[in-house]
Amino acid sequence: MNNEQEKVSVSRQTLTVVADEVAGRINHLFRGSCPDELDLQARDKGCLVCRALIELEGELNSSVS
């Protein structure tokens, strides 16, 4: 693994939402296509946590290309 750190650009709100979800302060809505034990890759554009994951994953994927 390379010791150089790549920087990605996501909004502070996105980072806050992801951190809050990981800490258990907020949850997915689970009213649509939120990830569950059967489909960890599912995302619901109506869910705040899913939207944050979509933005973060998009940025991470674009930095790998």
d(CA 29, CA 46): 8
26-39: per-residue pLDDT in tens? 999 999 899 999 99
b/e map 52-63, b = 16+ CB within 10 Å: bbebbeeeeeee
pTM here is: 0.82
Taking only the tens place, the pLDDT of each residue in 7-53 is 878 999 999 999 999 999 999 999 989 999 999 999 999 999 999 99
Per-residue pLDDT at 2: 54
pLDDT of residue 34: 96
